[in-house]
Chains A and B, each alone.
Chain A
Amino acid sequence: MADRSEYDAFVAAAWQRLLRTAYLLTRDWAAAEDLVQTALLKAWVAWPRIGDEREAYVRKIIFNVHVSWWRRRWRQAEVTSGSPPDRTQATDHMGQADERELVWQALGRLPARQRAVVVLRFFEDMTEVQAAETLGCSVGTIKSQTSKALAKLRVDDSFAASFAKGR
């Protein structure tokens, strides 16, 4: 069992970072909190065995639990049903904001594993090796998933249409 004070200190320090990652995966704050709590609970159970790399351990659980949730139909439907804004998104009236919104929407249409790779590589700034370790797959898989994800973002219909209009 976890030492309560040590565990609490870890949660207090890491919660916000973990929640940001979880939100980028789920795109829903309630689901993100649920995901982080699920990962923290698993970490709590295994606390004595985790060692020093606690945050990396929890982050790894977050990514893997998210992929497994995604495979379940109900969770997939929930995520694709949209991410109701808990706060009004800042609206940028410049065209750039529209493009960013389109990229955001396109990211939301990526399969769970490809979205995970994008978050690991371009938000967490992990190397391909680190991303492979986190997701428990080969570096080759990370490379191919990254390539596919970026290709989808480039060829996404709405993204492409917007780009064509802007030119």
Chain B
Amino acid sequence: MAIDRSELHDLLDERSRPAADRPIPWESLRRRTGRARHRRLTAAVASAAALVVVVVVGVSGGLLGLGEPDRDDPTVASVADPIPARYVEPDGTVYRRIATATLDAQRQKSVSFDVEVGDRPLAILASCPTGATSETPNFFVRVPGVAKLFTTSPIPGMMSTCDDNRAMDVMPLPEGTRRATFTVETPRRGTARERPQRWRFGVYEWTPPATLKAAPTPVEPPAKFSRQPEFRLVTKKTVTWPAAREVEVTVPYTGRQLALMAYCGGGIAGRLDREDRVNGRPTKTAVICESPPDGRGFGYAVLGTRTLPAKGPVTIQVRVKARIPEYLRRPGTLTVAVYEAAE
């Protein structure tokens, strides 16, 4: 069959026409030119400094590696780009974008797109409109021939990707999956006018570093919190993931309320399942190992009296587990702190 040149032209014209609907990203362009200007100035200063350094090296007989000149390397994520093509988390895990999509909540109820997937774990990162943290889109993945819907892990929802600008894991897809359909639906609550407008999504596959890095320094739990009653720290313990996956502490119970705070640090924060036990009984309150306390607050659970003895020692176990095996190659910490009410 011969290709009709006119038809080919029409096809190319038709497929590229939506460009007319896409606004010029002035902000991004300005950032890029600003950075280029800054690099030029830095390079000029560095050139002047290099003259001095070369003299020093000549005297000592050493070898100086000045490095390659700065280039516009597209594989390096722009810090300002909310959906970068590639970025590296502090623990050395590399996130590489494999697909993107946009959801205009004013005009679309949902957007679906097919993604070719490999064996690496997947994650989704959202560029959220302002004020979007309480109204986030529904997200799920369909795998051909599989009835089950897959969503984010360890909990469904995209709230934390908006809160923390971190990629959320996608539940592991069945082994051998090579293609999956990703769907993002407009938040259901609120009127169309109230809903956040434009969302962008990036689907990523991630690879932990070949060599496990050292775990970051754990964040210290607060010495006290709340006022009525005030909870004061009784004991705390931190272990390093993945060598240890459980913390057990024992505290005396005097009849005053006890509160438990547990969190994970590093790349595993907010990404592992968590299970708490009090004197061997599961509390069923914990779901994920949350991020460490920060300026925005922290979570804790007051232990119910039904799980506690009349008086005596109370043993608390906090266990974390990963649904995605690659987390065994990502360092982190698990901290458990127990508090007692002052009154």
Assuming A69-B74, A84-B99, A85-B113, is B3 touching A150 (CB within 8 A)?
A: yes
Chain A residue at minimum C-beta to C-beta distance from B110: A88
Please tell me the number of chain B residues within 8 Å of chain A, measured between CB atoms: 48
Residues of A within 8 A of B8 (CB): 103, 118, 122
Assuming A45-B36, A80-B116, is B83 touching A21 (CB within 8 A)?
A: no
Instruction: Say whether chain B's binding surface is mostly helix, strand, loop, or mixed.
Output: mixed
Interface residues of A in 1-39 (CB under 8 A from B): 1-2, 11-12, 15-16, 19-21, 23-24, 28-34, 37-38
What sequence of 0s and 1s flags, for each residue 21-40 of chain B, a beta carbon within 8 Å of any chain A beta carbon? 11011001100110011000
Interface centre among A74, A81, A125, A159 (most CB of B within 10 A): A81
The contact of A37 among B15, B25, B200, by CB within 8 Å, is B25
The contact of B98 among A72, A81, A119, by CB within 8 Å, is A81
The contact of A33 among B20, B25, B98, B111, by CB within 8 Å, is B25
Q: Does B85 contact A (CB under 8 A)?
A: yes
Assuming A74-B96, A75-B74, A159-B1, is B16 touching A86 (CB within 8 A)?
A: no
Q: Does B75 contact A (CB under 8 A)?
A: yes
Q: Does B189 contact A (CB under 8 A)?
A: no
Q: Does B49 contact A (CB under 8 A)?
A: no
What separation, in Å, do the CA atoms of A72 and B76 have in the docked complex?
A: 13
Give the shortest distance, in Å, between A97 (CB) and chain B (any CB). Answer: 10
Q: Are A38 and B115 in contact (CB under 8 A)?
A: no
Interface residues of B in 274-308 (CB under 8 A from A): none
Q: Does B45 contact A (CB under 8 A)?
A: no
Q: Does B72 contact A (CB under 8 A)?
A: yes
Contacts across chains A and B counted by CB atoms under 8 Å = 130
Assuming A21-B16, A72-B75, is B115 touching A82 (CB within 8 A)?
A: yes
Assuming A29-B22, A44-B33, A125-B9, is B15 touching A24 (CB within 8 A)?
A: yes
Residues of A within 8 A of B59 (CB): none
Residues of B within 8 A of A85 (CB): 101, 111, 113
Q: Are B113 and A81 in contact (CB under 8 A)?
A: no
Q: Does A112 contact B (CB under 8 A)?
A: no
Residues of A within 8 A of B83 (CB): 30
Residues of A within 8 A of B17 (CB): 20
Residues of B within 8 A of A33 (CB): 22, 25
Q: Are B113 and A84 in contact (CB under 8 A)?
A: yes
Q: Are B75 and A154 in contact (CB under 8 A)?
A: no
Q: Does A49 contact B (CB under 8 A)?
A: no
The contact of A74 among B72, B86, B99, by CB within 8 Å, is B86
In the complex, besides A24-B16, A78-B96, A84-B101, 15 extra interface pairs with C-beta distance below 8 angstroms are A12-B24, A28-B99, A34-B74, A37-B32, A41-B32, A74-B85, A77-B96, A82-B115, A84-B111, A85-B101, A86-B101, A87-B18, A100-B7, A122-B5, A154-B1
Q: Could you list some 19 contacts between A and B, CB below 8 A? A: A1-B37, A11-B24, A20-B16, A30-B100, A33-B22, A33-B25, A37-B28, A72-B74, A74-B96, A75-B75, A78-B97, A82-B116, A84-B113, A84-B114, A84-B182, A85-B113, A87-B18, A122-B9, A160-B1
